[in-house]
Homo-oligomer: A and B are copies of this chain.
Amino acid sequence: MSGMDLSVKIGKLELPYPTLMASGCYGSGEEFEAFADLSKIGAVVLKSVTREPRLGNPMPRLVPTPAGLLNAIGLQNPGIDWYLEHEVAKFAQRPCAVIGSVAAFSVDDYAYVTQRLAARDEIAAIELNISCPNVGSEGETFACDPALTGKVVRAVRAVTGKTLIVKLSPNVTDIAAIAAEAESAGADALAVINTLRGMSIDVHAWKPRLGNLTGGLSGPAIRPVAVLAVYEAARAVSIPIVGQGGIETASDALEFFLAGASAIAIGTANFTDPRIPEKIVNELGAYLEARGLRSLRDIVGKANVGFGTPFQYEGDVG
């Protein structure tokens, strides 16, 4: 595997590995250091932080579903003041890049939190979580409307020169339109996808299983939806995409690269087995080597090879 180039460039950010740990699924990295070699991952995306501290949603916050997980954490976080004062300095100790994640309920707050967080050296880049389905309808509004997406991305772009990754929601009719709007508003990259909105009901107690009623579905169950979202977003933009949604193996990751992702994020799979990120990196290297390829860039977006005309029958298109 010597000489295998797994590095990626996301905006100004250069990472030795294409594997990000998805926001909200890996704490600040510290929680996993006993089980995983953080020097073998691309970056940790931190849990989203808001302007004010938030206690988060009532319990229960987690429901296992077939091949998936419903969560409604509700952005429990200490708020940006406390975060800057007590948490951020520790991130310098991580042997990998640390990407901040910003959530908010207004354009002003997105810009305010981003500006303060991005000013810190410990933060290598900013991911804009405009697609959290677990904080009432407001949380996701931004990623569900091309105009609002453009507005918030423009406001945030104005306050930082650091790499800006905009995280999109799959709960929309046309993700390509929103991806295009985010790009033209100044995003350096897109994270595709956040969780699918879902619900589970306790049929004994006659009430929703999550304290928040609804939640976000992640894990292998959503992988086909995520692969298609990446495929469609990639055809709409020319900035890099961080593919995510149900990645558990190198083979899953390759589906995202072939669909058009330049990097991937691993979320729920860390709850299955914390050794998965390192395993994926090793197997990606072996995959490239076995095919005589030198870089992951050689396969990004190549799912269409040989597919000029997908239909074999006459007259049936449409």
Give A residues with C-beta under 8 Å from B.
54-58, 63, 65-68, 70, 74, 105, 135-136, 138-139, 144, 171-173, 196-201, 203, 206-208, 211-215, 217, 219-225, 227-228, 231, 246, 251, 254-255, 258-259, 287, 299, 302-307, 310-313, 316-318
Contact = CB atoms under 8 A, between A and B. Distances in A.
B305 A207 contact: yes
A313 to B, nearest CB: 5
Contacts of A63: 224
Contacts of A135: 318
A138 B318 contact: yes
Nearest to A133: B228
A197 B58 contact: no
Q: Which 6 A-B pairs have the closest CB atoms?
A: A198-B224, A66-B220, A221-B221, A67-B67, A66-B67, A199-B228
A136 B199 contact: no
Copies in the complex: 2
B208 A303 contact: yes
SS of A interface (majority): mixed
Contacts of A66: 66-67, 219-221, 223, 246
Given A67-B66, A228-B199, A303-B206, A310 B223 contact: no
A260 to B, nearest CB: 10
A172 B3 CA distance: 45
Contacts of A54: 316
Given A67-B220, A201-B254, 9 more contacts: A57-B316, A65-B224, A67-B68, A70-B224, A136-B318, A199-B227, A201-B227, A208-B307, A215-B224
Nearest to A299: B206
